[in-house]
Amino acid sequence: MNEVIDKGNIPRHIAVIMDGNGRWAQKKGAMRIFGHRNALAAVRDAIEGSAELGVDFITLYAFSTENWSRPKDEVDALMEILVQAITDEVPTMMKNNIRLETIGDIDSLPDSCIKHLKMGKEKTKDNTGMTVVLALSYSGRWELEKAVQAIVKKVVKGELSAEAINQKVIGEHLNTANIPDPELLIRTSGEIRISNFMLWQLAYTELYFTEVLWPDFRKKHLHEAILAFQKRERRFGKTGAQTKGSN
């Protein structure tokens, strides 16, 4: 008998490390970029499936700062795929009331990518449904580095005292200042690590790892991850009895 997802216990924010494109392609005797191109179907299913369940935010780790060290041909092709994907998907996002946002060092991307990202964000800015966040040229350590620099500048200018720096202030200087922390992180391809992704925000996130390679990821795999999430007891440092309201 199939398990039923509890619509009253859906994670508000799901983060996804989309891993396995290269290995998927290699298994088929093709170049790595073939895997990246075929990953778009998985992206659509993850977004559509999340929206159908009432998820408010989904963040997709699309390109890390470390990915710049990959072969130039692969990076160039990834950027072309990104531009095409934005062009193709924005009309669907408009139709489905989905908003596009980004985190990361967007200014380091090629001009064509920046142009299309700005266009997509501008067109969808008034949409009130789910928000899709693309993490591009992003890493957790880079984000924290930039946050510390911004805070130090305020301290030097006398706009902020050292004693006033707390977790709330740090959070306000992150790329995700207006985005809730993820409740569920999904990583595909069988790798069991977070790879410099949302290091601050994942403090109490439930981690879910699957052997499925990203191009093969579909709604049923998203549902499996959410079902696993719903079986867990989220204690946030408390005892099980405390979270259940017992003494």
Poorest-pLDDT segment among 38-42, 225-229, 237-241: 237-241
Q: If pLDDT is split at 50, 70 and 90, which confidence band does 236 have?
A: low
pLDDT at 247: 46
Q: If pLDDT is split at 50, 70 and 90, which confidence band does 235 have?
A: low
Structural domains of the chain ordered from first start:
13-138+183-231 (3.40.1180.10), 140-174 (no CATH)
CA angle 225, 229, 233 (to 5 degrees): 165
pLDDT at 215: 97
d(CA 94, CA 15): 22
pLDDT at 89: 93
pLDDT at 1: 38
Q: If pLDDT is split at 50, 70 and 90, which confidence band does 233 have?
A: confident
Residues annotated as binding site for substrate? 20-24, 32, 36, 64-66, 68, 70, 187, 193-195
Quote the mean pLDDT of the chain: 94
DSSP assignments along 19-85, one per residue: --HHHHHHHTT--HHHHHHHTHHHHHHHHHHHHHHT-SEEEEEEEEGGGGGS-HHHHHHHHHHHHHH
Rounded mean pLDDT, 201-225: 97
pLDDT in tens, 2-48: 789 999 999 999 999 999 999 999 999 999 999 999 999 999 999 99
Count H helices and E strands in the chain, helices first. Answer: 9, 6
Residues tagged active-site: 19, 67
CA 165 to chain centre: 27
CA 90 to chain centre: 18
pLDDT at 242: 53
Residues annotated as binding site for Mg(2+)? 19, 206
Residues annotated as binding site? 19-24, 32, 36, 64-66, 68, 70, 187, 193-195, 206
DSSP state of 185: E
- Is the pLDDT at 170 greater than 80? The verdict is yes
In degrees and rounded to multiples of 5, residue 185 shows phi and psi of -115, 130
pLDDT in tens, 83-142: 999 999 999 999 999 999 999 999 999 999 999 999 999 999 999 999 999 999 999 999
What is the value of pTM for the model shown? 0.92
The residue among 179, 104, 90 whose CA lies nearest residue 135 is 104
DSSP state of 179: S
Give the rounded percent of residues in the chain with a pLDDT score beyond 70: 94
- Is the pLDDT at 243 greater than 70? The verdict is no
